[in-house]
Each structure stands twice: as C-alpha cells, then as structure tokens.
Structure 1
Amino acid sequence: MSDSAFQLTAIVIYLLGMLAIGYAAFRRTSDLDDYMLAGRGLPPGVAALSAGASDMSGWLLMGLPGAIYVSGLFESWIAIGLVIGAWLNWKFVAPRLRAYSEVASNAITIPSYFEKRLRDRSHVLRIAAGVIVLVFFTFYVSSGMVAAGKFFDSSFGWPYMTGLLVVSGVTLLYTMFGGFLGASWTDVVQGLLMFAALITVPIVALFVVGGPGEAVDSMRAVNPDALNLFAGAGDTNALLFGLGIFSTAAWGLGYFGQPHIIVRFMALRSAADAKAGRRIGISWMILTCLGAISTALLGIGYFANDPARDLGDPETVFLVLSQIFFHPLVAGFVLAAVLAAIMSTMSSQLVVCSSALVEDLYNLLGRRSAPRTEVMLGRLGVLVVALIAFLLALNPDSSILELVAFAWAGFGGAFGPIVLLSLYWRRLTAKGAIAGMVTGAVVVFVWGNVDALSSRMYEIVPGFLLNLLVAVVVSKMTAQDDPEIQAEFDAMERQVRTDKVLEEQEA
C-alpha cells in the first residue's frame, strides 16, 4: 500500500467510528431535553473532555502552532490566558450554572436560562441571545470547515472543496442524529486522540532534531527570540508592550460566555461534579497546549536543519511533521487527531445553534410541538446553520485563527459578563442584561472590523468591559424587588452548598 492509502485507511476508520457513536446516541435520544442536554447526566470526565475537545478545535493543532512557528513563544500568551480562563470558568461558573439552570425552571439553553433567571416576559432577551448565538457560531463553524479544507489539501493533496465536503458531511450526520449526547461521546474519543497526538509528535521531534540542546540552537539560529516569552519588550513602550500581552492573554475572558462550553456545565449530573471536571479538564488542557507549543518550536529547528523541505503554510506544521516522522498508518491516526479537533468543535457548536433555532426562537414565537417533531426541527436547524457556514468557508485564504478570534470575542463580549452577573449578583435585571449584551456584541463587531483598533487591543476586552459597565448601570436604574428571583437565588446557593457537603462526605 502507498503512504496515502495507509493514511486514508486510518482516516476512514476514524470517520466510521464517529458515525457509529452518533448512531448509538441517536438510539438514546427521544425528546428535546435529550437532544440538547443529554438529560443532565454527564459524568465529570465526559463533561471535562467534551468541553476541552469542543473548545480547542483546529486552532489547537493548526492555528496555535502556526502562530508560534512564525512569531515564537510570544504567541503562547493566548494559551496561557486560555488555561487561566478555563480554570476560573470551571471554578466559579460551573457549579453555580449547573444548579441555577435547573432551579430556573430547568432551562436547557443559555438564552432560556437568561430569560427564566431574569423573568423577562417580553422575550426580547432570549431572542437577542439566540440571534447572537446564530451569528457568531456561524463564523465559528466556518473556521472549522476552513481547517478541514486545509487539512486534506496539506495531507493528501485533495482539492480544498473535497475536504470541506467530507468533514462537513460526516460531522453533520452524526450531529444531526446524535445531538448533544452524540457530540459529547465523540468529543471524549476525539479529546483522547488529540491528547495522544500532541504528546507523541513533540517527543519524537525532540529526538529527531538531536535533543534539547540541538533543538534550542536550531530555533535561535532561525529566530533569536523564538523562546522569548517577552519578545519585543525592549523595542517598544513598556505600557504598550504590557497592553499587547494583556490583549493576547485576554482570550481567557471569553470562556465565561462560550455557549458550547458552558452548556457542558449545565449537563453535569450535579454541581459537585464540577470539582472533578475541573481537575480532569485543566490537566488535559495544560498538557495539550504544551504539546502544541512544543511541536511548533521544534518544527522551527527541524525545518532549519532540512531546508530542502518546504513547509508552505505555517498552520500545517503539525500535519507535516507527523507525516515525516511516523509510519503512514500511525501518521494517519495522528492526522485523525486534527480532524477530531475540528469536528468536535463543529458538532458542539451546531447543537447549540440548533437549540437556539428551536428552543429559543421557534418554540418561543410559535406553539410547542410534539417531542419527536421538536427533535426533527433541531436536526433541520443543524443543517441550515451548516449550509450557511459552508458558504462562508468557500474562501480557502481565510485564516483559521482570525475566524476563531472574532467568534470567540463575540461570545465573550456579549455573554460573559451577563453569565457572571446572573450567578453572583442578585440585582441584575432583564433590561440591564439586554443593554449590556447588545453593547458587548456591537462593540466587538465594530472594533474587530477596524484595523486601527483591533491591532492595538483584542476586541473582547472593550466588549467585555463595556458590557459589564452598561449592564450594572442599567440594572441599578431599573432594579425592582422580585421575591421569586430572590427565592431562586437562595435555592441555587443552598443547592451548591449541599452538593459540596455531600461531595466532602463521600471523599
């Protein structure tokens, strides 16, 4: 067999496995609660790996290594910010959101949680949140499709369009039929595959380039600042440099508002499971980020020592190294890890988009349908969003990192402050949440499309801060005592405390 045949065999085995998992989940899905939230029965390990895999996407294996390959270790501030943000998210959002989303009339989506938590009878808050989900997730799903097209072009020389069709088609199938449970189960397998690949490739690369000393010398010969986390500090104003680091690390702010991640918190078996989920999820995240960073840095040294090889697109450094180092069949499974990263994120985002269309828009504006009909509408919603994202992804020159950055900032700026305030501040009002959410979304959209602004500061920072300010000010202006809201807030806090006590007793 040729190298390509071996690699394609591994890819086909992986894709068939994903379809099989999707079918198994399909047989356990009977109503909209199952389709959107898996009946709130995810164990912490499944939730943690699912959140991690759906979080990282093709950015972890392509976007991040590509940025570090070009600019050096300075670009790892993104990863540092993300690890800190993820830890804070698991620590402070997960237990309270799990409890509050159930206390607030069993909300199964983020927009419905906002409406029920804040008693917005006008439905404006829920509709606005649903629209924001659809707009920014369409860009996010599109980034995964772009990564898929680049993947097959780099790995097998296939046309960009072929990669789009294959990955989009398989992901669409298992997501449409498996729903949230199918996405979560496939995420676990995909997360483990990503972990194995990101640990194996840099270890092998280290031996190939001749060990740590040789690797460092080769990197510095190409880029003297390759290993400098503070590269450029002496070439610019200290304040501007500090703002640059803060802007890059500010990716971590986005975690509080990412629906495809925090919905995993809502699906946990109990608030107490958040602690175990945090330990598993953050451990996975630290190790995989270190693997991605190491792969890029070692790639600098490797290609410097072998100038006959042309890397081409820096975002393919992980793909190319895996093909060089391993037997074609093994390399095929390593390449499948890239597909795992892409598909796990796309599937999770498509499920959230589906929930926004059906639970937060269709059912809100019309009358509720039979459970089976709602599930079918959910599947149609997945199809619609996927088709729009596909059209956006037709441009092969789109940057994965830029598409992800824009969508990530959109959710962080629009939803992050509202999620935090809803969990920790009793006085948040529906009008305050609406005003803050719209402010955050608009600021991110405008700021991100003005080069003079976005080049100075990542748009999530002004979006997040202005959202927070507006939400607090408007809430103070419109605050009214509502005994039901106060009672629910107390019930949430009691449930979190009770779960924590039970956890300590079991330990």
Structure 2
Amino acid sequence: MSANTWIIIAVVIYFGVMLGIGFYGWRKTTAYGDYVIGGRDLPAFVAGISAGASDMSGWLLMGLPGALFVSGMSELWIVIGLFLGSWANWQWVAPRLRAYSEVANNSITLPSFFENRMHDQTRALRVIAALIIIFFFTFYVSSGMVAGGRYFESTFQGDYIWGLLIVGSITVIYTFIGGFFAVSYTDVAQGVLMFAALAIVPIMALFAIDNPGDIFSFPTNHAYGPWPEGNPDFFNFFTGVSAAAIIGNLAWGLGYMGQPHIVTRFMALRSPAEARSGRNSGLIWVGVCFLGAIFTAIIGASFFGQTQHSVVDQEGFETIFLDMTRILFHPLFAGLVLTAVLAAIMSTMSSQLLVTSSALVEDLFKVFAKKEPSQATLLIASRTMVIIVAILGIVMALNPSDTILGLVGFAWAGFGSAFGPVIIASLFWRRLTAPGAMAGMIVGAVTVFVWGSLPATSDIIYEMVPGFIFATIAMVVVSLATKPTAESESEFDTHVKVVDYALSHPNEDFHQALSNISAQGGNQTGPRAV
C-alpha cells in the first residue's frame, strides 16, 4: 500500500473513535443543561486535560513550532506568558467561578453569569457579551479550519479546501450529537495524542540527524529553512527583541482569564475543591507539550538543515512537525502520530463551536423569546447553531489572509481584553457594577479590533496590552461612578463564604454546603471580599 493509504487508515480510525465518543456524549445528554455544561459533573482530570487541549489548538503543533523555527527563542516569551497565565487561571479563577456561577442563579454560560452576577435587569450586559463571543469565535473557528486545510496539504499533498471541509465536518458531527460531554471527553483523548506525539517526534528526529550534539549550535551557524546563513540570535531571548515585544508576548497569559471555552470547564467542575487537582493535571500536560513544541523547532533546524528534506510550508514554516513525522515514521505509525495535529485542531474547534452555539441560544434566543422555550426546542436550536457557526468559519477560511498564529492571536486578545478584566473583577471586587462591566467589555473589544487592524499600532505592541489596560480603566471608572445593587453585594459575600468553605472541606458534598450557606444569607466573611 502507498504511504497515503496507510495514513488514511490511521486518520479514519481516529475519526471513528471521535464519532464513537460523540455517540457516548449523545447517550448521556438528556437535557439542555447537559448539552451546554455537562450537568456540572465534569471530573477534575477531564477538566484539566480538556481545558488544555481546547486551549492549544493547531497552533501548538503548527503555529508555535513554525514561529520558533523562523524567529528563534525570542518567541518563547509567549510560552512563558501562557504557562503563568494557565497557572493563575486555575489557581484563582477556577474555584471562585465554579462556586459563583452556581450561586448566581445557576448560570451555565459566561454571558448569563455576567448578567446574574451584576443583577442586570436590562439584559444588555448579557447580549453584549454574547455578541463579542460570536464575533471573535468566528475568527477562532476559522483558524482551526485553516489548520485543517494545511494539514491535508502537508500530509497528503492534497487539496486545501477538501482538507478544511473534512476536518470541519467530523468536528461538527460529534459536537452536534454529543454536546459538552462529547467535546470534553474527545478533548481528553485528543490531549493524550498530542502529549504522546510531542514527546515522541522530537526524540526520533534527534536520532535521525548526523550530529545530535550540534542541535544547540547548528541553527546559529548553518543554513536551514528561512535562514541561508543561519540565525546567530536563534537562542537569544533578548537580542533583536524590543521591550514592547516581550511585554506583548508575555501578555498572552492575561488572555487566559477571558477565554469562554476554557473557563466553561471551571463552571462544569463537580465542586470548587476539584480545581486543585484539575490545575495539577492541566499544568503537567501543558508543560510537557510546550517542551515538545520547543524541541521540535530546535531539532527541526538541524533535521532540515542536515538532510535533503524541505518544509512544505515555505512561508510561515508551520508544517515542520507534520513534515518531520511524515519523513521519520512508517506511514501507519506516522498517520497515528499525525492525528495529534488533527486532535489539536478539532479539540479547540469543537469547544468554540459549542460555546458560540450556547451564546446564540442561551444568551440571545432565550433572551428575546416571548416565552420560555422547551428543552427539546433548546437542544434543536443549539445543534442547529453549531452547523451555522461552522459554515461561517469555513467560508472565512476559504481564502486565509493570515497565519494560524495570527488568527488565534487576534481572537485571543479579543476575549482576553473584553472578558478578562470583567471576570477577575466579578470574582474579587464586590463594587463592580453592570454599567462598569459593559464599559469594560466594549472598550476592550473595540480596542483590540482597532489596534489590531492598523499596522501603525499593531506593530508597536500586541493588542492584548492596550486592550486589557483600557478595558480595566473603563470598567473601574464607570463602576465607581455608579452603584452596585444590594442583591449583587449580598450574593458576592455568599459566594466568598461558599468558596472558603468548599476549599477547606474538600470531601464534603458541595451542593449540600451551598444549600446550607445560601439559606443562611451572605455576610462579609473575610479580607478577600473587597
């Protein structure tokens, strides 16, 4: 059999497993709440791995190695920022958001949480948050479609359009039928694939080159990829990198707090106490995957410089992981390893499709419906929206105008700036008001869109930095100029008490503790309620 036939067999097996998990999710989904947030019954290990897998997307195996391959270790500031941001998100946001989202009228989406947290009667806060999700996730989903098309170009020397259509269709099918359960458990399977592939491929490439000991000197002195004479600053973190670039790359970590597809995992945990074990499993996964991506670029410079092989993508060099795998392994095993890239692409797309569908149904359709829709109607509407959002993403990906990392960076900054400050303030500042939250979201989203669209500003610093700063200023100023409702202040105090109790009594039933504390009413409980 030809190499492509073996790889196709591996990919078909992978697709079959994903669809099987989707069917499992369908069996477990009996209500609308199950479809959107899994009935708040997500185990910590699943939450930790699925949060990481849904976060990293195709850029971990394609965008990041390509950026490091081209620019050297100066791109590592992104990795440092992301790792620190992931830790902070699990450490501080996860337990509080898990508790508060249930205290605040059992909110199952981020926009509904904002509305219930601030007791906004106008519904404007919820609608604005939903529209921001729909706008930026359209770009995010498009980045996954682009990655799927490029995957098929590199792996099968196939057609870009057919690639994005196939990857998009399979992702839509298991998300459509299985909802949150399918998305979360496919994320775990996909996360394990990504973990194994990023550990195996660099090691095998190291053994395949003539002088393995030269990997830390070869890129600086020899021709490879885009560097006909080598890159003398390949391993330098600072030379040629401005302070603004370092700050901008580190700022990627700020974006974690505002990513709806990540924080939804926190809301779905069984209890706030499980955030600790979710954090541990998630950070181990993230750390190993980052190391694998880094060494893919380092070893890749020697691999493609010392051999006659070349990278398929000669612009962004985002296919180096795919090309190394295809060259190094038997086609069947290569196919199994290459499914890790599909895993990275599809795990993120499925989460984004589900969150966008939830925003359209839970935060727009239900808000404007004249009467409360039935559970069956909500399920049908959610599944229909998954298809519509996927079609929009495919249309945008037909003629990609940016790299995978560029598309991801724009959407990441949009969510980080619009939602990050508001989520942090919602959980730690009882003085936050609905007008303040709206001001922060609008200013953050608009700043990212304008700053990122203009070369004169986007070349200065990553749009996340001004977006996050301006959003925070607007949120604080407007909140101080307005007054929070008495109900929101009382509920804030209740949530603090619930979190403190849940974290100090991790083995007790959370729902019983929540019921008892809520019945007692909220009182000021400690220095963390400010």
TM-score range, shorter chain: over 0.9
In structure 1, the partner of 2:185 is 185
1:228 pairs with 209, 223, 236, which one?
A: 236
Decide whether the 8 Å contact of 2:311 with 2:319 is kept in 1: no
Give the whole-Å Cα distance in 1 for the aligned partners of 2:208 and 2:303.
8
Decide whether the 8 Å contact of 1:149 with 1:161 is kept in 2: yes
1:342 pairs with 337, 341, 345, which one?
A: 345
Decide whether the 8 Å contact of 2:311 with 2:320 is kept in 1: no
Cα shift at 1:207: 1.7
Give the whole-Å Cα distance in 2 for the aligned partners of 1:501 and 1:352.
32
* 1:388 matched to 2:392: yes
Letter aligned with residue 457 of structure 1: I
Give the whole-Å Cα distance in 2 for the aligned partners of 1:294 and 1:230.
19
2:326 pairs with 315, 323, 326, which one?
A: 323
Cα shift at 1:231: 3.0
In structure 1, the partner of 2:18 is 18
* 1:448 matched to 2:452: yes
1:272 counterpart SS class? helix
* 1:457 matched to 2:465: no
Decide whether the 8 Å contact of 1:150 with 1:396 is kept in 2: no
In structure 1, the partner of 2:430 is 426
Cα deviation, 1:162-201, whole Å, max 9, x if unaligned, reads: 1011001000000011111110010000000000000001
In structure 2, the partner of 1:303 is 304
In structure 2, the partner of 1:369 is 373
Decide whether the 8 Å contact of 1:218 with 1:302 is kept in 2: no
Decide whether the 8 Å contact of 2:133 with 2:359 is kept in 1: yes
In structure 2, the partner of 1:237 is none
Cα deviation, 1:454-474, whole Å, max 9, x if unaligned, reads: 111100111111111111110
**Where in structure 2 are the equivalents of 1:464-475 lying within 5 Å?**
464-475=468-479
Decide whether the 8 Å contact of 1:30 with 1:371 is kept in 2: no
Give the whole-Å Cα distance in 2 for the aligned partners of 1:3 and 1:189.
25
In structure 2, the partner of 1:354 is 357
Task: List, as ranges, runs of 4+ consecutive aligned residues in structure 1 with deviation greater than 3 Å.
Answer: 307-313
2:460 counterpart SS class? coil
1:457 counterpart SS class? coil
Decide whether the 8 Å contact of 2:85 with 2:253 is kept in 1: yes
In structure 1, the partner of 2:505 is 502
CA RMSD of aligned residues (A): 1.4
- Greater CA deviation, 355-364 or 365-374? 365-374
Give the whole-Å Cα distance in 1 for the aligned partners of 2:59 and 2:252.
13
2:237 counterpart SS class? coil
Decide whether the 8 Å contact of 1:142 with 1:392 is kept in 2: yes
Decide whether the 8 Å contact of 1:440 with 1:467 is kept in 2: yes
2:239 counterpart SS class? coil
In structure 1, the partner of 2:217 is 217
Letter aligned with residue 249 of structure 2: T
Cα deviation, 1:359-394, whole Å, max 9, x if unaligned, reads: 000001112211111011000111111111111000
Give the whole-Å Cα distance in 1 for the aligned partners of 2:204 and 2:352.
33
Cα shift at 1:490: 1.6
1:216 counterpart SS class? coil
Letter aligned with residue 201 of structure 2: V
Give the whole-Å Cα distance in 2 for the aligned partners of 1:494 and 1:20.
42
**Where in structure 2 are the equivalents of 1:189-204 lying within 5 Å?**
189-204=189-204
In structure 2, the partner of 1:417 is 421
- Greater CA deviation, 495-504 or 254-263? 495-504
Give the whole-Å Cα distance in 2 for the aligned partners of 1:487 and 1:94.
21
**Where in structure 2 are the equivalents of 1:107-126 lying within 5 Å?**
107-126=107-126
1:456 counterpart SS class? coil
**Where in structure 2 are the equivalents of 1:93-172 lying within 5 Å?**
93-172=93-172
Cα deviation, 1:91-115, whole Å, max 9, x if unaligned, reads: 1100000000000000000000000
Give the whole-Å Cα distance in 2 for the aligned partners of 1:330 and 1:91.
38
1:269 counterpart SS class? coil
Give the whole-Å Cα distance in 2 for the aligned partners of 1:14 and 1:34.
25
Give the whole-Å Cα distance in 1 for the aligned partners of 2:277 and 2:309.
48
Structure 1 residue runs of 5 or longer lacking an equivalent are 234-240
**Where in structure 2 are the equivalents of 1:248-287 lying within 5 Å?**
248-287=249-288
From the superposition, tell whether residues 158 and 455 of structure 1 become closer, same or farther in structure 2 (CA, over 3 Å).
Answer: same
Letter aligned with residue 430 of structure 1: A
Letter aligned with residue 363 of structure 2: D
Q: Calculate percent identity across the aligned residue pairs.
A: 52
2:105 counterpart SS class? coil
Cα deviation, 1:116-155, whole Å, max 9, x if unaligned, reads: 0001100000000000000000100000000000000111
**Where in structure 2 are the equivalents of 1:236-247 lying within 5 Å?**
241-247=242-248
- Greater CA deviation, 176-185 or 488-497? 488-497
Decide whether the 8 Å contact of 2:255 with 2:464 is kept in 1: yes
Decide whether the 8 Å contact of 2:33 with 2:39 is kept in 1: yes
Letter aligned with residue 29 of structure 1: T
> What TM-score, normalized by structure 2, do the two folds share?
0.92
Select the structure that is richer in helix.
Answer: 1
In structure 2, the partner of 1:294 is 295
Give the whole-Å Cα distance in 1 for the aligned partners of 2:461 and 2:310.
36
Decide whether the 8 Å contact of 2:201 with 2:325 is kept in 1: yes
Cα shift at 1:487: 2.2
Cα shift at 1:312: 3.5
Letter aligned with residue 291 of structure 1: G
Cα shift at 1:310: 4.7
Cα deviation, 1:37-82, whole Å, max 9, x if unaligned, reads: 0000001100011000000000100000010111111111111110
> What TM-score, normalized by structure 1, do the two folds share?
0.96
From the superposition, tell whether residues 368 and 333 of structure 1 become closer, same or farther in structure 2 (CA, over 3 Å).
Answer: same
Decide whether the 8 Å contact of 1:85 with 1:255 is kept in 2: yes
